Every structure is written in C-alpha cells, then in structure tokens.
Amino acid sequence: MTGNGADRKTALVISAHAADFVWRCGGAIALHQARGYEVTVACLSFGERGESAKLWKQEGMTLEAVKSARRNEAEAAAKALDVHDIRFFDLGDYPLEMDRDAKFRLVDLIRAVQPNFMFSHSRFDPYNTDHMYATQIALETRMIAQAWGHNPSEKVLGAPQLYLFEPHQTEQMGWRPDVFLDISEVWDKKRAAIECMQGQEHLWTYYTNVAENRGNHFRRNSGGMAGGRPARYAEGFETVFPRTVDELG
Amino acid sequence: MTGNGADRKTALVISAHAADFVWRCGGAIALHQARGYEVTVACLSFGERGESAKLWKQEGMTLEAVKSARRNEAEAAAKALDVHDIRFFDLGDYPLEMDRDAKFRLVDLIRAVQPNFMFSHSRFDPYNTDHMYATQIALETRMIAQAWGHNPSEKVLGAPQLYLFEPHQTEQMGWRPDVFLDISEVWDKKRAAIECMQGQEHLWTYYTNVAENRGNHFRRNSGGMAGGRPARYAEGFETVFPRTVDELG
Amino acid sequence: MTGNGADRKTALVISAHAADFVWRCGGAIALHQARGYEVTVACLSFGERGESAKLWKQEGMTLEAVKSARRNEAEAAAKALDVHDIRFFDLGDYPLEMDRDAKFRLVDLIRAVQPNFMFSHSRFDPYNTDHMYATQIALETRMIAQAWGHNPSEKVLGAPQLYLFEPHQTEQMGWRPDVFLDISEVWDKKRAAIECMQGQEHLWTYYTNVAENRGNHFRRNSGGMAGGRPARYAEGFETVFPRTVDELG
Amino acid sequence: MTGNGADRKTALVISAHAADFVWRCGGAIALHQARGYEVTVACLSFGERGESAKLWKQEGMTLEAVKSARRNEAEAAAKALDVHDIRFFDLGDYPLEMDRDAKFRLVDLIRAVQPNFMFSHSRFDPYNTDHMYATQIALETRMIAQAWGHNPSEKVLGAPQLYLFEPHQTEQMGWRPDVFLDISEVWDKKRAAIECMQGQEHLWTYYTNVAENRGNHFRRNSGGMAGGRPARYAEGFETVFPRTVDELG
Amino acid sequence: MTGNGADRKTALVISAHAADFVWRCGGAIALHQARGYEVTVACLSFGERGESAKLWKQEGMTLEAVKSARRNEAEAAAKALDVHDIRFFDLGDYPLEMDRDAKFRLVDLIRAVQPNFMFSHSRFDPYNTDHMYATQIALETRMIAQAWGHNPSEKVLGAPQLYLFEPHQTEQMGWRPDVFLDISEVWDKKRAAIECMQGQEHLWTYYTNVAENRGNHFRRNSGGMAGGRPARYAEGFETVFPRTVDELG
Amino acid sequence: MTGNGADRKTALVISAHAADFVWRCGGAIALHQARGYEVTVACLSFGERGESAKLWKQEGMTLEAVKSARRNEAEAAAKALDVHDIRFFDLGDYPLEMDRDAKFRLVDLIRAVQPNFMFSHSRFDPYNTDHMYATQIALETRMIAQAWGHNPSEKVLGAPQLYLFEPHQTEQMGWRPDVFLDISEVWDKKRAAIECMQGQEHLWTYYTNVAENRGNHFRRNSGGMAGGRPARYAEGFETVFPRTVDELG
C-alpha cells in the first residue's frame, strides 16, 4: 500500500463510460467510503454514442441531450454510492481517444488524488475497444504520474495497485479475479445506484445475479462448507501488480 | 483466511526434496514462526538420488548414507528456521511417486495441521518433473482433505491458500509472483539455514542474490522512489486461489 | 459432425460426479432429447466422499447410504431431463482414479453409443482435480475408441466434438465458452432436475443465475440491441476440436 | 447469425493489403457467393510499398505505377472469385495508418453492407504490424458501427462474427483455427485468383499446399478414417466471438 | 551443447509410435547422420492398435501381424534415413503406458547414447494423448538420467536440448517452431523413408507439402526477398530449454 | 543470420531510455564489439522525465540539464562498452511517442546499419509503457525497413533476429529468456559502464546479482554438474523470430 499523506485514504476509479463504475465497482466504492476512504471517479466519456441505445431510440434525440441525461444518471448513482468526487472528462466514445493533453489532465487528477489504489477495465475486450484502451491509458498515466520530471514541483505518485474490475462476459476478456470483496453491507447502496441507470434497465438483474454469484465465490474461497464466511454479495477484481506484505494469510 | 480453531495459527510446506523448503520459503517459515504461527514442513523425499551430486561423488557412498546426510542437513536447517515440525515421507525421488496410501498419509498431516495456508512448487518445471508433481499432489490432497466423506469423524479442511514458492529459473517455469514478503528481520536465520546445505554450496550466493533482488522488487511495488518501504530481503510467491477480503489496499 | 448410422442421433456426457451433468449441461441434455437425440450420461463416481457434505453431517451416515442417496438423486434428475440412459461407473471420488480396465469399460460405452458429440469438464480445475482428470480421461478414451486395433470387430468411433461444460468459478479454470445454446424451451426441466439435488440446495439459485446471465450473453452475441434473439436461459460450452462446415454463419 | 434485412445475405472482408483476401479467404468468398451471399472486399491499402518487391525491382518504377498494377491484379482476382464489390481505401502501407476519418469511412461501409459475418487478420503478427493493426481496426469499427449514436439515422450493426483468416507462419502469430470450411467445389476459382497475383508467384504453390493440407484437417475433424468427409481443399478460420446456436452438432 | 566424450556426436529420438520419427524428424535424422552424428531412435510402441487402420481392415489380421508389419516398415524407413540404431520398446499404444521399469529401460538407453540433443512430441495433443505422454516421459527420464544417485557407477547425463518435432495440426497442439532446419540435401532420403510407410499412404503428400512450406518459412526467416537462403525443404522444431552461446547470430 | 555486405558484422540496440542498453545488454554489446561486430545504440529518449529521480531531487534542476547529464552518462557508458556508435533521438519520455517522421528516422538508421541482429525491450511492461511501445516500434520499423517501396533506391533490410533483453521484474512482463550469452570475458566492461550511471546507483548491485545468477543459468543449461561450462556472468534474451540453421546443437 502506498501513502498519500498522514491521514487521508483515497482511491481513484477510471471509467471509460459514465456507467461502468456502477456495475463494476459500485460496491467497492460504497464500502471504502464507509471505511473512511475518499473515492474519486473519473468518467472519460458519457458513453453517449455507444451505450445509450434506449435514449437514441427516442424521437429527436441529440448528442447533447444524451450526454446530459447520462451525466445526470451518473451523478445520481455517484450520490447513491457516497462518491467523494466525480469528474467528467467528456472525451467522446466509440471510439474513446486521448491526446497528450487529455492524458496530462488525467495525470493531474491522479496526482491530486494520490490514490492508495486505482480501478480500471480488463486488459482485453474484443467487444468494446474503449474498455481496453482505458486500461492502457490507466497504466500510461500512472507511469507519468510517477515521473519526477513531470511538473517537478508536484508530489509524485507512489505505486498504487491497479484493480481491474469485472467486465461483461468475463471469459471472453481473459479476465481472472484474484480477489473477492465482501460488499454485503453496502449492497443496498449498489442496487440503488444501479437503479439510477434508467437507460440500461436490462442490466439490473444481470448485475444482481453477478453480485450474488460472486458472493458464492467469496464463501467458497474463505472456507466453503467448513466455515466460509457468509458473504451474500461480492465483487471480484484482478490485480495487475504484486502485493507487498508483512505476513501471509 | 481460514480458521483451524480458536487460538492456533498454522502453515504447511510441501517440499518435494529435503532442501527445497530452505531456498524457496525459508524466510516465510522463520517470519511466521516469529509471528506466532506453527509451521510444519513435509519433505516428500530426501532428494537422495537427484539432488545430492556432491555426496555421490564420494567414494563408496550408499543410498542410505545419502538419505541420512540429507536428513541431517534438513533437520539442522529446520532448526535454524525455528520450524515447528518436520516430517520425512521418504517416498523416493527422480522420480517421486505417490500411491493412494501415500496421498492419504499426506491428507492425514494436512488435517492434523489444519493450515491457514500452504506452500508448494511451481505448476510447471521441465527440468524437474518431481517439482510439478508435488504441486499436483498438493492440490489433490487439499481436495481430499476437504471431503466430508474422507474419514468422516475428522475435522475437514477449510480453503487455505496455496502459495507457490520460487523455483529455479522462474521464467522457464511460467511462475509469476503476485506477492512479495519482507523477510529482512529473519534474513540471518534464512542464511544460517542455507549454510546447513553443505552439499549445495554452489547455491548459497545464488539464493542470497535472489533475496536481495526480491527486496528491490518489494521496494518498487510498495512505492518505489516515492516512499517504498526499505525492505532489504524478500521472498516472492504466486497464489493459486483468489483472496477474500473486507477491504482493498 | 460424425455419423453413427442411418437414423440415430446420440450424445454422451462424461460426468466426474453424480450431479455434474445436471448443473453443467442439463439444458443441453433436455433440449437434444427434445430434438430427437438419445443422450447417455456416464457418472464416473457418485461424488459420495467429496460432494455430499450435507449427507455426511447426518448422524450415523455410511458410504453406502451416501452413494445410494446420490444415485437416487441423479436418477431423478436424469428422469426430469428425459435422459435416454444413465450409467454409474462407481469408481470412487476424491480422488477419482481409473485403471486400464475402467478406461476400457468407458471405451465400450463410447463405442456402443457412437456419440455425435460428447461433454466433459474443463481442462483445468485447481479446486477439484477429479474434474480435470475426467477431461483427460475423456480425451484418452475417445482416442482409444477410434483405434481400429482395439476390439477389432467393433465399429470404431469417428471424430465427435468434445464440449467442455461450465465449471464453477469459470475464470479460475481458464475455461472460455465459444458457443452458447438457447435452453429457454427446456428451462423448466432443468430447474426440476436441479431441485432433485436435495443435498446441494445452496447451488439452486446460483445455477439459475448462471442460466439467466448466459441468456444475456446469448442475446448479445446474436445481435444485441440490434435484433438479438430473446433467449431467456442459455448454457455455454468450450469446444476442444475445430468444426468442419459447408458454410460460415 | 445476425440479420441485415429480409432477403440479403452478406459478408465483408477487411484486407490490409490488396492480395491478402486472395490467399487467406478466397475460397470462402467464392463459396459464399455461390451460396447466394454478396461478399464485399475492403482493401485498406494496395501493399504498394511492402508487398510488391517484384515490381520495385523493375527499372524506373513509381509508387503510382505499383498501386495501379496491384489494383489491376486485385480486381482480376476479385472477378475470378465472383466478388460482389471491392473497395480500395488507398490508406498506404508499411505502415498502414487510419485516422478518425478513415475509420468512419470503414464504418460507413460496414453499415452499408450489414454483414452476416466479417473477415480480418490474426490478432498478432511480429513480421507484419499492418496485419494486426487491421484486426484492431476491424474490432474498433465493428464497435462504432454498433453505436446507436453514430449517425443516428442509420441502421446499426448487429453482432456479426469476425473470422480471422490464415496468416503466413500461423504458429508465430498465435493463430488457431477453430473452423474448417470445405472449399473443394470452388478450388478452381481460388487457384485462378491466386494466379492473378503475378507479383507473388513464389506463393502459388505455397497456398495450394496449404489448401490441400487444410483439406486433410477437414477430413480428420469430420470423422477421419471412420467416415470423414472427403474434402480435398479447405480453409481454416479462428473465431473471435462465441456462436449462438439452437442445437449442438 | 553437451558433451558425451571426446569424439562422438549423438542424438536420440523418442517416438511414441513406430512411424512418428519419419514424418516429424526424418530430415533431421538423415542430415545429422550425414554430419557425423550417430542418431538412435526409440520407438515406444509400434502404433499397432491406433495407427494401423489400413492393416486392420484386412481380413484375419492379428495384433502380432500388425506389430510385425509396422516393425518392418519402421526398420526400412530407418535404413533409408541411415539411422544408427533403432530400438523397439513394445510398450503398447492407445494408450501408451510406462511403469517404473519401462522408464528405467529408457533411462538406460539415454545414458548409453549420451545424446547431444533429443527429440520428442509436442507438449499437448488433444487428439492423441500418447503423444503428449511421450513428451512427459522424455522430460522425466531426462531428469532421472541426470541423477547422480541413479545407478551411481554410470556416467550421468548432461543437459541436452529437447527438440519438440512437428505434430499433426500444429495450431491445435499449441506448438510453435523456433528453429527451422534446412533438409534440402537429404530430402530424397526423407521421401524414401516416407514411402516405406505403406499403411499411411494418405500422408505422403501431406508431409511433402509440409516440408516444402517449411522451406518457405526457412527462406523468410533467413532474409526473405533480400537474400534469404534458397532452402527447398525444411523441418521445424520447438525447443524446451534455453540455448547457451558465445555469440548471438 | 542475415548479411549486410561482404565483410561487416553489425548489430543495433533500440533503447527506450538512455540507460536501458547498459543494464540489459551491455555485456552483449562489449562481447560482440570484441568479436568484430560494430554495435550501434539508438536511445529514443534520455529518460529525462521518468528515470532521473535523483537529478530532479536537486535544487533548481531543469529539463535541459537533466537531458545533458543523462546524455553524458550514456556516452560514458557507451565508451566503456566500446560501442561503435550511439544516436540520441531525443523524442521525450513518459510517455515516449513517435510520429511517422520519427519512425522513418529510425528506419533510416536501421538501413544504414543493416544489422545482423537487433535488440529491444520485452513485449509487455505494465510498469513502463514506454518499454513495450519501443518494442512495438522496433517491429514496425523493421518491417518498413524491409519494404522495397520505401526509399526505393536504398538497400532493403533482410530478416534480422530481434532479441528482447531482460526487463526489470521479468515475470511481471511475461518475458522468458531462450538464450543465455556468456559475458564473463567482458564483465569488467559492463560493470564499468554500470558505474557510469551515477543517477541510478541503487541498481548497480541489483544488475550485478542478475549477471551472476544468469551465469548460474548458463551453467545449468550447458550441462550442469555433469560438465556445464563455468560461465561466471551471463545475459539472457528472448527471441522473437525462429532461427534458421544447418545443424542442431
């Protein structure tokens, strides 16, 4: 774990589209807020072109109207999850593209937050190249934020873990969770945030099923029928970097 | 983490040959003993045929004499590491083979120890098929120990993590460490244990270099030049199963 | 696709333990029975030692009583799925082991059935070595059944596809589905079969969630919001061998 | 399979250089044309710089002359294969590069064609980075074509399969065919198209050998010596996305 | 490279069935014999049950007659390739199985030959489990042959490279060649050996095509159109162990 | 191996930052210079922003001053290694970016050098995206340099091997060495070059340990205790392309 000062604990979510943080790590956000962390969410785009089919099926819809609606949903969900801060980079989607300036804006945020850990997408996603591009950017901007020669007067970043949150159709993405987080105590908040996503109602049950089944995985890996902890809901994450510890467990 | 009762903390090492536990997880053993764990080591063979070249080069050497010498070295090393218990299964090496009875003897030990976590070799090793066979056996016996119908009166095993310790020539084995353990405070014990291995003096410097360089990896992954913890010696492990946690870090 | 005669269509399931065929390909079984296939299930063991925790928690339980109970459940489930034939090899579990004779008994069944396609477990399973062993045996016995010199008077096997059905915790097994089967029309039968598994009630909701979410995957991969077919329940499979076709689609 | 209207069946080939579609999926093109499909070929470049060595060895050759010659060859080959439509994007090669506008031009074509399935290169190619770049573009433009917010008045794309056709030196590219297509009935057309490639005569025999040997693979996987179908020529493809089916086979 | 004495150069082929060495490394055998090596071939079985379909289709065929015919073919092929020595272990096929004694017989041969390098099958083969079993045995017996405590009076083995020769349907086996050997000068011998395999005439053209196309790969990797060496026939191999060199090239 | 004329032997190193060539292939450089090769080093950047922490910690440091200091260190190290030529592309780091012009400048150098073999970074590096970007560029520019239509009057490149040199934390990068080079005779030069890197003194011992331990791997793979060559220092490399040979060894 890395430090960012004497008394703050922080985390940063890099979300390609406005809703990704809800389905994929909403539980982790609410839980860590409850544990005293300040969690910041960076939405690189609103998912306005590619993930708003329901809105576009309405008569006379415009790009600005879609972005506004998506922003409202994301802010409502962030509120439901007690998000500390949500930032909209408004970089466009399908495809998401980031030039040097956009990368440096994200570096600025990373340095300002000084996260103890970060979240992003899976490494690979043949359905959605924006997702894997966001992960590539997360690694690149993490590296820039560590450079002593980038804006030399600023505090450089340590070595925060990057947690890859759960993609849709995990097996097609080559994503393997190596940590399960018990989110039972904040499940109601995650469900409330999910229900803010009016445009994607077809996913509400889907991600509730995911949370229940990851709860089963949590129980299995914490002892199974010989004493596994009775987590009802969980989220899974894949780590990119090795952990550094004082004791195994 | 799994429990084995109210107040004991335990770990179990499955070592294909008598010396493996020293090079590969000697630091973890000494450290957890110092942390109050009882660490048991199971040596499936003495490495008497395949890992005792120096002894065999002596005039008139016999299999029993080699086994005896290797046992003495292993016991001395275990003592240096404060090992709680060391068991010699004496199953032969090059090749190591385990029939159903031998597997059940190992299951008996696993159940008696009720380890919070276990150690074994890498999944793959083209140089040394005994090593990967031991890992396969570790998974198989862990599964049997979890079976409610195996010796039904006994306490079944929970779901302990299996840590794969560092093989020789890591990259050829497809082994990737995902956790680094700071062993600086017990390095002297590990070095003392290493020096018990009179027959393999050519490896002393090698594994000292490994421990130093893993210390560098520990520092990098705990914050690097922006506050990484000054671990001087470390050991790396690859986990087989996902962790279950209450908080990320 | 391979032929087994003028007018029969057949399939064969190789199930390590008595209940695996229900959770993992119960829909495929019922569906193909409804399509005119004769589906045979081979249960290599009853899962009597390792997958019957609930029974073993009862006072005075014996191995024979567990096996009998598991057999009854499996037969009831098979009936619910309209299984053509179910065979119990009773080879023991945790660990499952097959000698040359047992393999040849399975070869006899494969040749008798002459399956158009077969089912078995994932290639890898660190939680349950019986599962991956069953897959290894499936490949080995498929090969023997193809040998013209094995019982030369018999009809040899063609080249049936081997479908690897869905394991528990798919990502840990390195299992990737490359075909989704719409089982909506037989879902009621699968659910009825699932409810025959009295000893594993904790898995009923789990595998219902799986079927619903695989239905979502079916819809996505058949066209998504631009016309995806409204499958409500599906099963996923990983193929081992390439398909041979006259037309792509 | 996805639909593009009541009565058309279509396919789209994305070919990095002008000749790739001939060697790699010429048989599939001719066969599906014969089956009533309309197959469109998009040549992103002519391969004018990097795949026209023979032309450049001629005295006084110019870039325009090479492009013209390559275009003529490609058009002749397309005719031999009964290609419905061939489009030259003329984006340059070695390296091939596509900006946002070029991507959107390709999206326009994808939407106009509404392919039931698509073809492109292998995921990886250390010899030829244009090839893997084309595959990356194929995934990205497929995604954009699915976005309801991209040119909202247009019909969005469904979820067509992407078939990765056979690269040169398959094993170095990590390409694994999972479907073999019998092209025996159109082999003469493919051979005629191959012979249009005057600048690459050294590959005629090579790809004839490939087609014969893939025929052997077809026979093996359709039943081998126990009834395999006597395909004489075949092509292999790797699928990116899972199939959705009503029946296994 | 390892040494086996002052003036002999030797190689050892481990072939699961009697004909494998012909198709897969016949060129390497003939070439190294011509270069002064003594190449020994160990046929673990005759392929009598699983790879002799043509013989079994004859009226009244017996196992002994098949074995005799296969032995004659293998000896004729060995002669055509100038093989130094061919040994038949007669261990049975489909499935091939080796107990401790059989392994030790193979170790005896390895030590007698003291090969500079060895050949065996691919690591994985879902069509033919005998093949991957032979590779596993090659690694295991190589390890035993290196053990100073195995028959202590004998000369131990050094560290010979293990070359995995080309399987059928390479991509399905996960086999990737990292070395191509020019066999043009001995092609006539390999073709003559191939033609000794009367029972598998359907493979003659197949493996001639393979040799021609590997010749193309040789040319590409030795310089391509800018000076690649004009090899007409080649064989490909995958190495298991790193090379040790004085100079890169 | 490829040729570049009658009597020159050359190699080219593509180094993302100014110091990479020292740690990762300094031994290979000095050794091949001693063998008569002319080795050219291309430093794409100075590592001025991201790999110069020690300098940036000094009061009043400027970007130009860091670049100058880094350049001086690199030139001193190059001299210690007898580098034939070192070129600084000064493209910036963290992130390193190359447009078409920068790529063509590198192609110009590749063609001027006509290397028998090249060096670059690992394929993957989650810590340092500049490293994997440099490898991608190495593959792309190698391809362009082979194009007959790129600057048609120039001599095109053959097919030089690309050696991927050792990254930091090898296992995290998926890097596997398949060749070890004995650098014992030039170790003093490599150590002298390492000591030129005043800003990264914390890595001196680290890479000395690496060289010693790779020496152990050299010995193991050249015969181990049965005659392995007594290399004291070595470097490891991963090859991208297959070798083409006349004889195995």
The model's pLDDT over A38-94, given as tens digits with 9 standing for 90+, comes to 999 999 999 999 999 999 999 999 999 999 999 999 999 999 999 999 999 999 999
B228 neighbourhood in chain A, CB within 8 Å = 158-159
Q: Which of A227, A180, A41, A15 is nearest to B247 (CA)?
A: A180
Q: How far apart are the first and last CA of chain E?
A: 16
- Cβ(A120)–Cβ(A14) below 8 Å: yes
Q: What is the pTM of this model?
A: 0.97
Whole-angstrom Cα distance, residue B107 to residue C122? 25
- Cβ(D77)–Cβ(D26) below 8 Å: yes
Flag whether pLDDT at D1 surpasses 50.
no
Predicted confidence band of residue B229 (pLDDT cuts 50, 70, 90):
confident
What dihedral angle (degrees, nearest 10) is formed by the CA atoms of D93, D94, D95, D97? 0
- What average pLDDT does the structure give for chain F? 95
CB within 8 A of C60, min separation 6: which ones? Answer: none
A105 to chain C nearest CA, in Å?
34
How high is the pLDDT of residue D5?
53
CB within 8 A of E182, min separation 6: which ones? Answer: E215, E218, E229, E231, E233, E234, F244, F245, F246
Chain F residues 169-188 within an 8 A CB cutoff of chain B: 169-172, 174-177
Whole-angstrom Cα distance, residue D224 to residue A238? 42
| D96-105: average pLDDT | 98
Predicted confidence band of residue F198 (pLDDT cuts 50, 70, 90):
confident
How high is the pLDDT of residue E3?
46
How high is the pLDDT of residue E7?
76
A230 at B interface, C-beta within 8 A: no
Residue B145 exposure: Cα atoms within 13 Å on the Cβ side: 24
Whole-angstrom Cα distance, residue C116 to residue A69? 52
How high is the pLDDT of residue A87?
98
How high is the pLDDT of residue F5?
53
F128 neighbourhood in chain A, CB within 8 Å = 143
Picking from D103, D152, D241, the nearest residue to A56 by CB comes out as: D152
B102 at C interface, C-beta within 8 A: no
CB within 8 A of D230, min separation 6: which ones? Answer: D219
Whole-angstrom Cα distance, residue B17 to residue B128? 11
Q: Which of C85, C55, C92 is nearest to C70 (CA)?
A: C55
How high is the pLDDT of residue B199?
79
- Phi first, then psi: what are they for C193, rounded to 5°? -65, -40
Count of other CB atoms within 10 angstroms of residue B246:
12
The amino acid present at F219, given as its one-letter code, is R
Phi-psi region of E73 (alpha: psi -120 to 50; beta: other; left: phi over 0): alpha
How high is the pLDDT of residue D4?
52
Whole-angstrom Cα distance, residue B229 to residue B220? 8
> CA-nearest residue of chain E to C103?
E95
Q: H/E element holding F179?
A: strand F179-182
Region of poorest pLDDT, from B233-237, C224-228, E165-169: C224-228
E strand map for chain D: 10-15, 38-43, 85-88, 117-120, 161-164, 179-182, 234-239, 243-245
Instruction: Give which of F94, F164, F169 to mutate to test B binding, by max B Cβ within 10 Å.
Output: F169
- What average pLDDT does the structure give for chain C? 95
F239 neighbourhood in chain E, CB within 8 Å = 178
- Cβ(D197)–Cβ(D207) below 8 Å: no
Phi-psi region of C160 (alpha: psi -120 to 50; beta: other; left: phi over 0): beta
| C72-82: average pLDDT | 98
F171 to chain A nearest CA, in Å?
11
Q: Cβ–Cβ of E50/C240 closer than 8 Å?
A: no
How high is the pLDDT of residue C5?
52
Q: Which tens digit of pLDDT belongs to each residue from F62-117?
A: 999 999 999 999 999 999 999 999 999 999 999 999 999 999 999 999 999 999 99
> CA-nearest residue of chain F to D49?
F149
> CA-nearest residue of chain A to C204?
A213
Predicted confidence band of residue A3 (pLDDT cuts 50, 70, 90):
very low
Predicted confidence band of residue A202 (pLDDT cuts 50, 70, 90):
confident
How high is the pLDDT of residue A4?
52
Flag whether pLDDT at B154 surpasses 60.
yes
A81 to chain F nearest CA, in Å?
30
Q: Which alpha helices (H) appear in E15-123, and where do they start and end?
A: 20-34, 53-56, 63-80, 100-113
Flag whether pLDDT at E5 surpasses 60.
no
Q: Which tens digit of pLDDT belongs to each residue from D148-161?
A: 999 999 999 999 99
Q: Cβ–Cβ of D150/A97 closer than 8 Å?
A: no
Q: Which tens digit of pLDDT belongs to each residue from A15-41?
A: 999 999 999 999 999 999 999 999 999
Count of other CB atoms within 10 angstroms of residue E55:
20
Q: Which tens digit of pLDDT belongs to each residue from A122-153?
A: 999 999 999 999 999 999 999 999 999 999 99
Count of other CB atoms within 10 angstroms of residue B176:
18
The amino acid present at C54, given as its one-letter code, is K
Chain F residues 57-96 within an 8 A CB cutoff of chain E: none
Report long-range pairs for D56-60 (Cβ below 8 Å, ≥24 apart).
D56/F148, D56/F149, D56/F152, D57/F148
Q: Which CATH architecture has domain F9-239?
A: 3-Layer(aba) Sandwich (3.40)
A149 neighbourhood in chain F, CB within 8 Å = 48-50, 52, 56, 63, 66, 94
Phi-psi region of C91 (alpha: psi -120 to 50; beta: other; left: phi over 0): alpha
Q: Which tens digit of pLDDT belongs to each residue from F20-71?
A: 999 999 999 999 999 999 999 999 999 999 999 999 999 999 999 999 999 9
Picking from E63, E95, E127, the nearest residue to C149 by CB comes out as: E63
CB within 8 A of F52, min separation 6: which ones? Answer: A148, A149, F46, F66, F69, F70, F199
Buried b (16+ CB within 10 A) or exposed e, B67-95: bebbbebbbbbbebbbbbebbbbebbbbb
Q: So where are chain F's domains?
A: 9-239
Whole-angstrom Cα distance, residue C134 to residue C102? 12
Q: What is the torsional sign of CA F217, F218, F221, F225?
A: negative
Chains F and B are touching, with contact defined as 3 or more CB–CB pairs separated by less than 8 Å: yes
| F218-246: average pLDDT | 93
Q: Cβ–Cβ of C171/A172 closer than 8 Å?
A: no
| E209-229: average pLDDT | 92
How high is the pLDDT of residue A229?
86
CB within 8 A of B108, min separation 6: which ones? Answer: none
- Phi first, then psi: what are they for F103, rounded to 5°? -60, -45
- Strands across the sheet with D243-245, in order? C85-88, C38-43, C10-15, C117-120, C161-164, C234-239, C179-182, D243-245
F54: buried, middle or exposed (CB in 10 Å: 19+, 13-18, 0-12)? middle
Picking from F140, F144, F148, the nearest residue to D52 by CB comes out as: F148
Report in angstroms the alpha-carbon separations of E222 from A162, D62, D130, F1: 42, 28, 21, 6
Q: Which of D94, D126, A140 is nearest to F123 (CA)?
A: D126
Whole-angstrom Cα distance, residue D172 to residue D215? 22
Picking from F136, F139, F147, the nearest residue to D50 by CB comes out as: F147
E149 at B interface, C-beta within 8 A: yes
Flag whether pLDDT at F245 surpasses 70.
yes
Report in angstroms the alpha-carbon separations of D131 from D4, D18, D95, F110: 28, 12, 10, 22
> CA-nearest residue of chain C to B157?
C50
Which chains lie within 8 Å of chain A at 3 or more CB pairs, if any? Answer: B, C, D, F
E53 at D interface, C-beta within 8 A: yes
B1 neighbourhood in chain A, CB within 8 Å = 222, 249
Q: Which tens digit of pLDDT belongs to each residue from B53-79?
A: 999 999 999 999 999 999 999 999 999
Q: Cβ–Cβ of E213/D225 closer than 8 Å?
A: no
B210 neighbourhood in chain F, CB within 8 Å = 209, 213
Size of interface A-F (CB pairs under 8 A): 49
F117 to chain E nearest CA, in Å?
7
Q: H/E element holding D67?
A: helix D63-80
CB within 8 A of B65, min separation 6: which ones? Answer: B55
Q: Which alpha helices (H) appear in chain A, and where do they start and end?
A: 20-34, 53-56, 63-80, 100-113, 129-145, 187-195, 204-221
Local structure of residue B87 (DSSP, 8 states)? E
- Cβ(B99)–Cβ(B106) below 8 Å: no
Predicted confidence band of residue B224 (pLDDT cuts 50, 70, 90):
confident
Q: Cβ–Cβ of F171/B176 closer than 8 Å?
A: yes
- Cβ(C34)–Cβ(C68) below 8 Å: no
- Cβ(B177)–Cβ(B164) below 8 Å: no
Predicted confidence band of residue B5 (pLDDT cuts 50, 70, 90):
low
Q: What is the ipTM of this complex?
A: 0.95
Tell me the β-bridge partners of B15.
B43
Q: Which tens digit of pLDDT belongs to each residue from D134-147?
A: 999 999 999 999 99
